[in-house]
Amino acid sequence: MAAQTATTEVLRALNALYQGTSAEEREQANSWLQQFQRTTEAWGTADAILGSDAGIEAKVFAAQTLRAKIMADFSELGAEGASSLRDALVEQLRTGAARPVVTQLVLGLADMAVQLEDWADPMSDVVTALGDTANGMSVVVEFVAVLPEEALNERIAMDNAAWSRRTEALLGQRGGDVAALLARCLGTAELREARARVLGCLASWVRHGDMTLAQVQGAGLAEQALAGLQGNADEAEAAADAVCALIWETRADNDDDAETAAVKDTLVQQLAQGLAASETQHAVAESESWRVLAEAGEAWVGRIVADAARFAGVVQGLVECMRHGEREAVAMTFTFWDELADRVLETASCDPARRALSGVYAGLVDAAAAQLRYPDDTMTAEERDIFREFRHGVGDVLKASVRVCGAGTALGRAYALAAQPDALWQDAEAALFAVRAMGAEIPPDEEEVMPQVMDLLPRLPPHPRLRYAATLVIARYTEWTRSHAQYVPFQLDFIAAGMSDADVAAASAQALKFLCMDCAPLLATHWRDLLHVFGAARDDDAVDVAVALAHVAAAAPDAAAAIEAFSVPLGSELGTLVQGALDNAACSRAALLLDRLGAFLRYVDAPDSAADLVARIVADAWPLAHALLHRVPADTHVSESASKFVRVLVEFYSSALRGVVPQVCDAVAVAFEQTGLDVYLWLARRIVAVAPSLAVDETAALQLAATLMDRLSAAALPRFEHSFSEAPDTTEEFFRLLQRALEQAPSIVAATPTFPAVFRAAIAALTVNSLHAQLAVLRAWVQMLAPARRHIRLRLDHTRASPDAYPLPTIVSLCAENGFELARALLLGLLGAFDREVSPEAADALASLAAVAADGPNVVSGQSDALPSSAICDWAAAILPDIPDSRMPPREKHLFASQLAELVQARMWPRLKTMLLDTAAACWRRSRALEL
C-alpha cells in the first residue's frame, strides 16, 4: 500500500469509527485500524499523520499507534530508524501539539528511551531540546515523570538482561539531578500552572525508589509538597500523591543505617508538623488531607505508639476524619485503626501511650456511630449496597475500639447512644448496629452493659428499622445468651413476633437459627412451641427455620419425638403431592418441602436413640425425591431442590442409602438424558466425590460412579456438537465432573466405552469462550495428563514401581492419536486465545503432554532406556507458523523451538512449564501494546 494511499485509508477508517452511523460500520473500522497497527506501514503512516493538518482524533490515533509500535515492535525499526523516529518525536513535542497528543508522544518517547541502548542520556537530551521555554519545560517534566513508570511497563517486549542494563542507565544515580530540576521548576513563576505536573513527577520518582529522601530534603521538595496541599484541586491531588510517597518511604526499617534513620526522623518531624497545621485548609484540599493523614497513620503506626504525644495532631486529625469526613475518606482510615490497635495491645497495660490511645479509641466509638447513621435522603439500590459495605468497615473499627479500650467502655458508649430518650430512629439504629458490630470482641461473660442492652430492646420504639436492628443484635449475641439463660424466653418471643412482620422476618429467621444453634440445650424443652414458628415461617425463611429446629430437635430430651414431629409432616405432605397432579404450584410446593426437609436432615445431629428413626426417614424420603425426578425432571424448582436433597442423602446418610445407590445413579442419569440440565451434572459430581462410602465394596462403588460418568458422557457429548461456547455452564459442570471422576477412579473411567470420545471432545472444548468453563476444561486436562507424567517418571526411575491401577497405556495411546490437535489447541490458547487467568493450568497441561509424548510410548512398550521422542517439538514446529508475527515475532518463535527441544531432551518438565508461562506473558504484553 503506497504511503499516501495508506494515510487516506487510515483517515477514512477513523472517520467511520468516530462519525459512522451504524454500529457495524464502526466495528469494521475499529477492526481494520487494529489490524493496520500491526503492520510495518503503520510507522510511516502515523508519522505522516502527525506532520499533517489532520484533526485531533487522527493525530491522537497516530500518536497511540507509534507508542504501541514502540512497545511491541521496536525491533522493526533498526538502529537508524529508531534514531530517526526519536528525533521526529522530539521535534513534534518542541513545535507543540494538543494535550492528548503530547501525552501519547511523551509515553512513546519514554518507551523508546527504555529500549534504545544507543541513546546515552535521554533525560539530558530532552532537557536540552525542550527546556528553553515554559511549555517545553512542562513537557520535560512530564517525560521525566513517566520514565520510572515506563521502565516497569510489562507491555514492553524486552528481555530481562537488557531491561536491567537500561533501567540502571536511565534511572540509577539520577535522583539528585531530578530533584534539582524539580526544585528549579517549582521556583519558576512561569511554571506556576505546571506545579501539579512537577509534584506528580516528584511522587513518581520517590514512589519507584529512584530518588532518596536525602535528595528530597536537600532540594527542599517536602516543603513544596506540603504547600501544594493548599493549592487548587489538581495541585492538591498531585501534592497529596507526593506527600504520600514521601510518608511511605519514611517507614522505620531495621536495616536502616544511622544516617538514613536520621534523615527519616527529620523528615517525619517536618511532615507531622505540616500535617498538624493543615487542619485549617480550605475545602478543595480537605479530601486530599484526609488521604495524606491516613497514609501517615499507616506508615508511622509504630512511631505513634512509641511517642503518642508527638503525633497527637495526626491521630486527632484521623479522629476528625472519622467524625466529619466523607465515606470515601473515612474508609481510608480503616486499616490504620486496626493496625494501631494491634500495636497498642503489644505494649504494657501501664504504658502512657496505651492509656492515651485508649481514650482515643473510646472517643472513636461516638465518631464511628455517627458514620453508621442512615442518611435522611432515600438511597438507590446501588447506594444501599455501598453503604452496607461501608458500615461493615466501620464495624471493624468498632471491634478495634473494644480491643483497646475494653468491652465495658466501648459497649457503654454505644448503649448510651441507643438509650437516649427521644432519639431519632436513625441514631438509635446506628447505635444498635455498633453494638452488633462489636459482638465478635465481647466475651460471653460480659455483665456490665449487655444486660442493659437486652433490657432496652423490648422498650425501643416500634419502628421496623429498629426492630430489624434489635433482632440482629439478638442474633449476634447468642453465645452470650447461652451464659444468660434468663433472656431466652424474651428473645424467643421477640423473634417469633418478628416472623410475621415482612420487614423483620428475614432477620428473625436468621436470629432463630443462631439462637437454636448456640442455645439448643436451653431451648430443648421448647421444641413443641417452635413447631408453630416452623409452620408460620415465610417460604423465603423456611430453610433457616428448619436449620434452627434441627439443632433443637437433636438436643431435646425426647429427641426421636421431636425429630419425628418436625420431619414426618413434611414427608407426608410431600407424599400427597407426589401422588397428585404436579402442576406449577404443586412443583413449587414440593421443592420447598424438599428444601426444608433437606436442611433439617443436613443439620440434625441425631443421638443414638433416634438413629433408626432418621434412617427410616431417609429411606422413606428417597422414593419421594425419585418420583419427582422421574415425573418432572425438567421443572426448574424441582430439579434444583431434588438435586440438593439427594446431595444431602448421599453425603450425610450414605450408609442408609447403600441399598438404593444404583437406583440413585440411574435416576440422575435418566434425568440428565431427558433434560440436559446442568444441575444433574453437579449432583453427579457430588455422588462421585463420595462414591467410596456408598457401598461396602469400594471397587463396586467406584464402578457405579464410572458407569454414571459413562452414561452422562454419552448424553452430554451430542449436546456439544455445535459449540461448547453455546453451553458454557454445561461445559463447566461436565468437565468438573470428569475431573472428579478421574481423581476417584482413573482406570475404571478410562476403560469406559465413551472415554476416547470424551478425550477428543475435551480438545474441542478448549475453544470455549467462558473463563470458568475454560478453567474447568483445563483442570480436567491436568487431571488426565499430570498423573501420567508422574507415572512415567516412576517407570523411568527403575528403583520404584508405578502402581498398576493407573491407565497409563490408554492415556499414552490417546495422546499419540490426538496429540497434535491437543498440542495445537493448548499452545494457540496459551499464546493468545485463553483468558490470562488460566495460563498456569494451560502450561501445566501442555508440559504434561510434552512428557507423555516424549517418553510415554517407550515406557509403555518397555523401552524405558530410550531417548525422549521429539514429537512435541515436531508438533510445535507445525503450529508456530500459525501464530501471527505481531504476537510472536519469527526470532522468538525460533528461540521458543530451540528452548523446547533442549528442555524435552533434558526431561525438565517444571522448567518447560515456566518457559511456557514466560512466553505466554510476553505474547500477552505484545498484544496489549497493540490495542487501540
CA distance 843 to 343: 43
Tell me the CA end-to-end span of the chain in Å, nearest whole number. Answer: 21
- Per-residue pLDDT tens over the stretch 419-444: 998 889 999 999 999 999 999 999 99
Q: Quick one: pLDDT at residue 233?
A: 87
Q: Residue 930's pLDDT is what?
A: 58
Q: Read off the pLDDT of residues 748-770 as tens digits, 9 standing for 90 and up.
A: 999 999 999 999 999 999 999 99
Cα-based distances in Å from 88 to 49, 82, 85, 132, 680: 12, 10, 5, 18, 64
Report pLDDT for 931: 58
- The pLDDT score that the predictor gives to residue 282 is 42
DSSP line for 763-808: HHGGG---HHHHHHHHHHHHHHHHHHHHHHHHHHSTTS---TTS-H
Does 252 have pLDDT greater than 50? Answer: yes
Closest CA to 762 of 746, 753, 774, 752: 774
Report d(CA 9, CA 711) in Å as an integer.
57
How far apart CA 910 and CA 917 sit, in angstroms, is: 11
CA 683, CA 705: separation in Å to the nearest integer?
12
pLDDT band at 281, cuts 50/70/90?
very low
* Strand, coil or helix: 131: coil
Q: What is the pLDDT of residue 352?
A: 81
Cβ-proximal residues to 815 (8 Å cutoff; 6+ apart), any chain: 785, 788, 822, 849, 852, 853, 856
The residue type found at 742 is: L
Exposed/middle/buried for residue 72 (C-beta within 10 Å: 0-12, 13-18, 19+): buried
Taking CB atoms within 8 Å and a gap of at least 24, the contacts of 77-83 are 77/43, 79/118, 81/43, 82/112, 82/116, 82/118, 83/116, 83/118
Distance in angstroms (rounded) separating the CA atoms of residues 625 and 627: 5
Q: Rounded to an integer, what distance in angstroms lies between the CA atom of residue 335 and that of residue 331?
A: 8
Burial readout 834-871 (b: 16 or more C-beta within 10 A, e: otherwise):
beeebbebbbbbbbbbbbbbbbbbbbbeeeeeeebbbb
- The answer, yes or no, to whether residue 929 has pLDDT greater than 80, is no
| Of the listed ranges 5-14, 243-252, 347-356, the one predicted with least confidence | 347-356
Average pLDDT over residues 217-230: 91
CA–CA separation, 431 vs 233, rounded Å?
A: 36
What's the pLDDT at 3? Answer: 60
Q: How confident is the model at residue 932 (pLDDT cuts 50, 70, 90)?
A: very low
- Report the alpha-carbon angle 465-466-472, nearest 5: 90
Question: Quick check: 666 pLDDT over 60?
Answer: yes
Q: What is the mean pLDDT of residues 206-221?
A: 92
pLDDT value of residue 340: 95
* Average pLDDT over the chain, rounded to an integer: 90
Q: Kindly state the cell numbers that stand for 651.
A: 453425603
Mean pLDDT confidence for 261-270: 89
Question: How does residue 805 score in pLDDT terms, banded at 50, 70 and 90?
Answer: low
DSSP state of 712: H
Nearest to 819 by CA among 865, 785, 773, 794: 785
Instruction: Give the pLDDT mean for 46-55.
Output: 88
In 3D, which of 669, 686, 688 has the Cα closest to residue 748? 688
Q: What is the mean pLDDT of residues 281-288?
A: 57
- Angle at CA of residue 552, ends 550 and 556, nearest 5°: 120
Of residues 715, 818, 714, the one with CA closest to residue 766: 818
E strand spans, 506-658: none
pTM of the model as a whole:
0.81
Q: Letter for the amino acid at 260? A: T
pLDDT single digits (tens) 80-118 = 999 999 999 999 998 878 889 999 999 999 999 999 988
Rg of the chain over Cα atoms, rounded to whole angstroms, equals 35
Confidence at 460, pLDDT banded by 50, 70, 90: very high
Segment among 285-294, 452-461, 488-497, 552-561 with least mean pLDDT: 285-294
Question: Has residue 284 got a pLDDT over 50?
Answer: no
The percent of residues in the chain predicted with pLDDT above 90, rounded, is 66
Q: Report residue 649 as a C-alpha cell.
A: 442423602
Q: Report the candidate in 396, 414, 272 with the shortest Cα–Cα distance to residue 341.
A: 396
Does the pLDDT value for residue 799 go beyond 90? no
Main-chain dihedrals φ then ψ at residue 347, nearest 5 degrees = -90, 165
The three cell numbers locating residue 289: 488531607
- Model confidence at 803, pLDDT cuts 50, 70, 90, reads low
SS3 per residue for 385-452: HHHHHHHHHHHHHHHHHHHHHCHHHHHHHHHHHHCCCCCCHHHHHHHHHHHHHHHHHCCCCCCCCHHH
* pLDDT (average), residues 598-617: 93
Q: Taking residues 795-803, what's their average pLDDT?
A: 65
- Between CA 1 and CA 39 the distance in angstroms is 11
